[in-house]
Amino acid sequence: MADASASGTSSKRKSLFQTLEVDTRLLGMVGAFVVVCLMFNFLTDGRFLTPRNIFNLTIQTVSVAIMATGMVFVIVTRHIDLSVGSLLATCSAMMAMTQTAILPGLGLDFGSPLIAPLAILVGVATGAVIGAFQGYLIGYLAIPAFIVTLGGLLVWRNVAWYLTNGQTIGPLDETFQLLGGISGTMGETGSWILGVIAVVVAAVAIWGARRARIAHEFPVKPIWAEFALMIVAAVLILGLVATLNAYEVPERVLARQFEAQGLTVPEGYTQGYGVPYSVLLLIAVAVVMTVVARKTRLGRYIFATGGNPDAAELSGINTRMLTVKVFAIMGVLCALAALVASARLSFHSNDIGTLDELRVIAAAVIGGTALAGGMGTIYGAILGALIMQSLQSGMAMVGVDAPFQNIVVGGVLVLAVLVDIVYRKRTGAK
Q: Are residues 352 and 408 in the same domain?
A: yes
Instruction: Using the 3D structure, point to which of 275, 293, 314 is the last residue of a domain.
Output: 275
**What CA–CA distance (Å, rounded) separates 181 from 277?**
9
Note whether residue 82 is domain-resident.
Answer: yes
pLDDT score at 141:
95
Nearest-Å Rg of the Cα atoms of the chain is: 23
Note whether residue 336 is domain-resident.
Answer: yes
Note whether residue 419 is domain-resident.
Answer: yes
Residue 331 and residue 128 in contact, taking contact as beta carbons nearer than 8 Å: yes
**What CA–CA distance (Å, rounded) separates 378 from 364?**
8
Note whether residue 55 is domain-resident.
Answer: yes
pLDDT score at 407:
86
Instruction: Using the 3D structure, point to which of 275, 306, 329 is the last residue of a domain.
Output: 275
Note whether residue 34 is domain-resident.
Answer: no
**What CA–CA distance (Å, rounded) separates 205 from 363?**
26
Residue 124 and residue 336 in contact, taking contact as beta carbons nearer than 8 Å: yes
Strand partners, 404: none
Note whether residue 139 is domain-resident.
Answer: yes
Residue 88 and residue 341 in contact, taking contact as beta carbons nearer than 8 Å: yes
> For residue 294, what is the domain's CATH number?
1.10.3470
Note whether residue 248 is domain-resident.
Answer: yes
**What CA–CA distance (Å, rounded) separates 164 from 342?**
14
Q: Are residues 140 and 112 in the same domain?
A: yes
Q: Are residues 108 and 89 in the same domain?
A: yes
Residue 71 and residue 369 in contact, taking contact as beta carbons nearer than 8 Å: yes
Q: Are residues 62 and 180 in the same domain?
A: yes
Q: Are residues 267 and 285 in the same domain?
A: no
pLDDT score at 430:
52
Instruction: Using the 3D structure, point to which of 213, 244, 275 is the last residue of a domain.
Output: 275
**What CA–CA distance (Å, rounded) separates 97 from 54?**
32
Domain span including residue 409: 50-184+276-430
Q: Are residues 125 and 210 in the same domain?
A: no
Q: Are residues 157 and 230 in the same domain?
A: no
pLDDT score at 290:
93
Q: Are residues 427 and 287 in the same domain?
A: yes
Note whether residue 75 is domain-resident.
Answer: yes
Q: Are residues 325 and 233 in the same domain?
A: no
Q: Are residues 122 and 145 in the same domain?
A: yes
Low-confidence ranges of the chain (pLDDT < 50): 1-14
pLDDT score at 64:
95
**What CA–CA distance (Å, rounded) separates 381 from 133?**
25
The HSE-up count of residue 131 (CA atoms within 13 Å, CB side) is: 31
What three-state secondary structure class fits 261? coil
Output DSSP code: residue 172.
P
- State the pTM of this model: 0.90
pLDDT score at 27:
77
Q: Are residues 167 and 70 in the same domain?
A: yes
> What is the identity of the amino acid at 215?
A
Q: How big is the chain, counted in residues?
A: 430
**What CA–CA distance (Å, rounded) separates 262 from 258?**
6
pLDDT score at 9:
47
Q: Are residues 311 and 355 in the same domain?
A: yes
Number of separate domains in the chain: 2
Peptide bond preceding 171 in cis form (omega within 30 of 0): yes
Virtual CA dihedral for 409, 412, 414, 418, nearest 10 degrees?
Answer: -170
> What is the identity of the amino acid at 31?
G
Instruction: Give, in order, the Cα–Cα distances in Å from 404 to each of 208, 358, 400, 407.
Output: 47, 15, 7, 5
**What CA–CA distance (Å, rounded) separates 293 from 331?**
17
pLDDT score at 18:
59
Environment class of 79 (CB within 10 Å of its CB; exposed 0-12, middle 13-18, buried 19+): buried
Beta-carbon contacts of 59 under 8 Å, excluding residues fewer than 6 positions away, are 180, 182, 276, 278, 279, 344
